[in-house]
Amino acid sequence: MTIAFLTIVFFNSCDVNKTKEGELPEVDITTEEGELPEYDVNWADVNVGTTTKTVEVPKVVIVMEEEEVEVPYLDVDMPGSDDEKEERTILVQAEVEGKEHEIDIKEIWATGNNLYVISVLTATEQDIDDKKMRVSDQVTINAPELNVKHYIIGERPNRVFNDQYTYVKDIPTLKYKLDNKNIKVIFSQS
């Protein structure tokens, strides 16, 4: 409120009289069309499209379906052994590609507390292209605890899964490798 009061007092305390007529200056403005600056910008040309590349993509492993079938059964009584027998499955598998394969347990050899499972892996004529598949065979055994070692006759397929078995060229090579340690054939399948 004091500012408004002071303003009123200021205007009322002075006397303003017009003594001469005034005139605004004349200004002649001519304008010309302006021009904005131009710039050249050099940057990369970008083309968007597609190209074909060969890349590795995961593929599904073909797995055999379960079915009820007759499997060989071995009941083993070890001489002079009071060990309790236990039923278990001896399973052999191979993971293959390119062609379908078959794997069959051909023989089981025994010596001492060791079992040697001899299987044969053979390729068929059926192509599976770039797919992979697992093949298997099994025998059921009722016996005391025994050490089991697998040997597969045939060429090892180039898959990490197959590293769990020993691959050999043929039966004579295997017999030489085992040095004929009083081996007894307890199972044979043609």
Whether residue 91 is contained in a domain is answered as: yes
**pLDDT of the residue at 105:** 93
Please report whether residue 44 resides in a domain.
Answer: no
User: What pLDDT does residue 78 have?
Assistant: 74
Q: Is residue 17 assigned to a domain?
A: no
- The per-residue pLDDT for range 68-122, each reduced to its tens digit, is 878 788 888 777 767 788 888 899 999 998 899 999 999 988 888 888 999 999 9
DSSP state of 144: S
- 65 half-sphere exposure, CB direction, 13 A CA radius: 1
The percent of residues above 70 in pLDDT, for the chain, comes to 76
Closest CA to 167 of 101, 113, 112: 101
d(Cα 147, Cα 163) in Å, to the nearest integer? Answer: 18
> pTM for the whole thing?
0.62
Has residue 102 been placed in a domain?
Answer: yes
Please give the Cα distance from 153 to 171 (Å, whole number): 7
**Residue ranges, the chain, pLDDT below 70:** 1-17, 39-51, 53, 55-62, 64, 81, 180-181
Q: How many domains does the chain have?
A: 1
DSSP calls for 2-29? HHHHHHHHHHHH------S---PPP---
Q: Is 105 inside any structural domain?
A: yes
Residue 93 is assigned to a structural domain of this protein: yes
In a domain, 37, yes or no: no
Structural domain includes residue 60:
no
**What pLDDT score does 161 carry?**
84
**Which residue segment(s) compose the domain that 107 sits in?**
71-188
Residues 92, 152: Cα–Cα separation, whole Å: 9
Closest CA to 92 of 150, 146, 141, 143: 150
DSSP 155: P
